[in-house]
Amino acid sequence: MKYAAWLCVTWMLLGLESPLLGSFSTQLFAPDVLVISALFIAHRGALLPGIVTVFAIGLLKDGFCLAAPVGVFTEVGVLVFLAMRVASRHNTLSTAISLMATSAVATLFATALFMLFETIFHREFGSHAQALRMALPLALITMLAAPLQFALLDRIGAFFERRSTSGSMFR
C-alpha cells in the first residue's frame, strides 16, 4: 500500500510542479521529482515493487513531458533506481549532506542517460548543448529539494506501515 501512496504523492508533485513553474516561466529550474523518488524507493523499498513503482512514475513523467519520446523517462527512472539500489549498499543516506550529494550524482547520471536515449531514439534531437548546460543547475536544484521530498515520502511510508501493522488481527 505504501508503494501506491508513494506513487500518488509523486504524481501530485509532478502535477503541481508542471503548471506552477509554467506560470512563473521557470520550467528550467524544476527539481527532478522522478530521480528523487527513484533514489528514495531504492533506499527504502524492496526490489520488485520498487521497480514497478518507479516504472509507473516514469510513465507519469513521460505524460507530463511532450518533447521526449514516450518511455525515455521510464527507462531513465528504472536505470537510476537500479544504480541507486546498488549504491545503497555503500551509502546509507543517514545525513542530509550524503542525501544531497547522492541526489546530485543521481541527477547527473539521469541527465547522461536522457541524452544517450535522446540520441538513440530521437535522431533530430539537437539540444545537446542546452542539456549539458542545464545539467549542473538541475543537479543543484534537485539536491536542494531532495531532503524535503524524502521527508514527505518517508512520512507517508511510515503512516502506511503503522496503519497496516496496527489493524492486524494477530499481533
127: number of Cβ within 10 Å:
13
Contact 141, 29 (CB under 8 A): yes
Contact 50, 58 (CB under 8 A): no
- pTM (two decimals): 0.86
User: How far, CA to CA in Å, does 141 sit from each of 76, 80, 82, 137, 161?
Assistant: 18, 18, 22, 6, 30
Q: What is the mean pLDDT of the chain?
A: 85
* DSSP run (H or E) holding 50: helix 47-64
Query: Over the stretch 74-114, which tens digit does the pLDDT of each residue have?
Result: 999 999 999 999 988 888 788 899 999 999 999 999 999 98
Query: Over the stretch 14-32, which tens digit does the pLDDT of each residue have?
Result: 888 876 666 666 666 788 8
Query: Over the stretch 43-53, which tens digit does the pLDDT of each residue have?
Result: 999 999 999 99
Q: How high is the pLDDT of residue 53?
A: 96
70: number of Cβ within 10 Å:
12
